[in-house]
């Protein structure tokens, strides 16, 4: 979340910057709550001072042998007033907190202003899209023709936007995840982490999915119909957990409420997990095939770094994701997202878009973001700086890569006229030496 002191010192400026992100900050409500907070804090301090002074009178009166019942009654009344004022202050602080929890991050100065993906800026391209001398098929037609993608069975099992992969395509999907993990660990210096696929609400608040994007999440209600959002389970109030929308959530929350020693920075973590998203509000978009699914796999990269190093880390993070596409010889471009197209927690985001021949366009396959201290402030994730004082960390995350979309790109870019698909050389050792998916081989 944003530092509330920024809002207190220059509210109009911050509100104007948030407008470029499509967010209207409630200035009047914030000012009213701040006025109440200041008034009650002043009143609370006055009550505390008066109670302390009155309490001292009790001892003095007792030493003189005087009746202290009236003074004690006054102290008790002051205590009741103080408790009431503290409750009011707590309520106001909670309202201010709710405003902050749904306020997006400020965009970095280098981010271009804009309202939609039409205003994003291309940074660079790599690779040349292949020229085909036959009619191009999309990944769905390719997979179904091979008998290795079965969307009908998936719909029978779970409904729309799920998939069943078989044989060679299932193996290729697994090979991609292993190839990505090996590359990031062995060449890029990440630590592989296995994380839970179910997390509590505090984790999702920490990385910014809650409360704003509750409808995009899948909740799992365990143990009883009597539910609570509490992260402390009891017999009457069991856990309410959520399926992770991305491994960013558990990976980043590893440092929640921690103070990381300076010498341990940077932390570079990678995890392969399924991801679960309801895709609320995206009805009708990419409903055919593997592009937009309720369940999909992703290899996620997370950096937890010193604030002075975070933009250097962002460039490094993007290069690591690019390296996977280069090894697979898949053409792509890198885009800087504009203010109106960035994710809620991001201060700056690069999207990597892979070339999909059947769509004759580039499509997002990785999104790499620097969240600066936005998530760390929500999580109270800190490190001890050079002076030994606690300071908020900077957090970054990116896909390295989305496994299903990489599979789509391979099926379409490596398709052949006879309906077969050539396996990229970088993956053949993960496929037991298999160099092609073909109908006649049954692979």
Judging by DSSP bridges, how do beta strands 382-384 and 332-336 pair with one another? unpaired
The annotation status of 399 as a binding-site residue, yes or no, is: yes
pLDDT tens for 319-347 read 999 999 999 999 999 999 999 999 999 99
**What residue has token string 């990976």?**
251
Catalytic residue among 21, 171, 205, 277: 277
Rounded to an integer, what distance in angstroms lies between the CA atom of residue 40 and that of residue 85? Answer: 6
Residue 304 parent element (H or E): strand 295-305
The annotation status of 367 as a binding-site residue, yes or no, is: yes
| Lowest mean pLDDT segment, chosen from 63-77, 88-102, 206-220 | 63-77
Which pLDDT score, from 0 to 100, does residue 227 have?
43
3-state secondary structure at position 144: helix
Exposure of 291 by Cβ count < 10 A (0-12 exposed, 13-18 middle, 19+ buried)?
buried
**Residue 292 is a catalytic residue:** yes
pLDDT tens for 385-419 read 999 999 999 999 999 999 999 999 999 999 999 99
Structural domains in the chain, CATH included, are 26-102 (1.10.287.40), 117-221+236-437 (3.30.930.10)
Please say whether the beta carbons of 353 and 332 come within 8 A: yes
Strands (E), 59-201: 121-126, 191-192, 198-199
The mean pLDDT value for 73-91 works out to 88
The annotation status of 278 as a binding-site residue, yes or no, is: yes
Catalytic residue among 369, 405, 412, 420: 405
Judging by DSSP bridges, how do beta strands 348-356 and 361-370 pair with one another? antiparallel
Is the pLDDT at 253 greater than 60, yes or no? yes
The annotation status of 277 as a binding-site residue, yes or no, is: yes
Output the DSSP codes for 349-384.
Answer: EEEEEEEETTTTEEEEEEEEEE-TTHHHHHHT-EEE
The predicted model scores a pTM of 0.91
Closest listed residue to residue 148, CA positions, set 169, 163, 162, 173: 169
The annotation status of 315 as a binding-site residue, yes or no, is: no
For residue 280, count other CB atoms closer than 10 A to its CB. 11
- Sheet order of strands, 259-260 included: 259-260, 382-384, 390-392
pLDDT tens for 344-372 read 999 999 999 999 999 999 999 999 999 99
**Residue 364 is a catalytic residue:** yes
Share of the chain above pLDDT 90, in %: 83
pLDDT tens for 44-60 read 898 888 878 888 887 78
The annotation status of 321 as a binding-site residue, yes or no, is: no
């Amino acid at each position: 979340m944003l530092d509330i002191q920024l809002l207190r010192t220059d509210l109009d400026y911050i509100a104007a910057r948030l407008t470029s992100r499509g967010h209207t900050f409630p200035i009047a409500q914030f000012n009213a709550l701040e006025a109440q907070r200041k008034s009650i804090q002043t009143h609370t301090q006055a009550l505390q001072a008066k109670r302390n002074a009155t309490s001292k009178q009790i001892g003095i009166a007792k030493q003189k042998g005087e009746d202290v019942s009236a003074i004690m009654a006054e102290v008790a009344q002051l205590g009741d007033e103080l408790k009431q004022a503290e409750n009011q202050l707590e309520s106001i602080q909670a309202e201010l907190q709710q405003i902050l929890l749904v306020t997006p991050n400020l965009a970095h100065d280098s981010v271009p202003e804009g309202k939609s993906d039409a205003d994003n800026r291309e940074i660079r391209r790599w690779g040349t899209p292949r020229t085909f001398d036959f009619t191009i098929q999309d990944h769905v037609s390719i997979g179904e023709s091979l008998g290795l993608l079965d969307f009908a069975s998936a719909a029978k099992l779970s409904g729309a936007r799920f998939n069943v992969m078989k044989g060679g395509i299932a193996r290729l999907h697994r090979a991609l995840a292993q190839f990505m993990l090996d590359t990031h660990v062995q060449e890029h210096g990440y630590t592989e982490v296995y994380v839970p696929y179910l997390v509590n609400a505090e984790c999702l608040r920490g990385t910014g999915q809650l409360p704003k994007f509750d409808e995009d999440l899948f909740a799992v209600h365990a143990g009883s119909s009597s539910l609570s959002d509490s992260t402390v389970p009891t017999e009457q109030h069991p856990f309410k957990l959520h399926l992770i929308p991305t491994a960013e959530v558990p990976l980043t929350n590893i440092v929640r409420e921690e103070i990381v020693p300076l010498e341990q920075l940077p932390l570079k973590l990678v995890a392969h997990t399924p991801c679960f998203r309801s895709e609320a509000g995206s009805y009708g978009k990419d409903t055919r095939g593997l592009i937009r699914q309720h369940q999909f796999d992703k290899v996620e990269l997370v950096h937890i770094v010193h604030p002075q190093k975070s933009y250097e880390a962002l460039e490094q993070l993007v290069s690591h994701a690019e390296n996977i596409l280069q090894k697979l010889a898949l053409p792509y471009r890198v885009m800087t997202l504009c203010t109106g197209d960035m994710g809620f927690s991001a201060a700056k985001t690069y999207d990597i878009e892979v070339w999909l021949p059947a769509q004759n366009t580039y499509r997002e396959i990785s999104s790499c973001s620097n969240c600066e201290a936005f998530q760390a402030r929500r999580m109270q994730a800190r490190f001890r700086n050079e002076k030994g004082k606690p300071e908020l960390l900077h957090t970054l995350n990116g896909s390295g890569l989305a496994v299903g979309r990489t599979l789509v790109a391979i099926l379409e870019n490596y398709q052949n006229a006879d309906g077969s698909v050539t396996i990229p050389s970088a993956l053949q050792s993960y496929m037991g030496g298999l160099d092609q998916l073909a109908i006649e081989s049954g692979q």
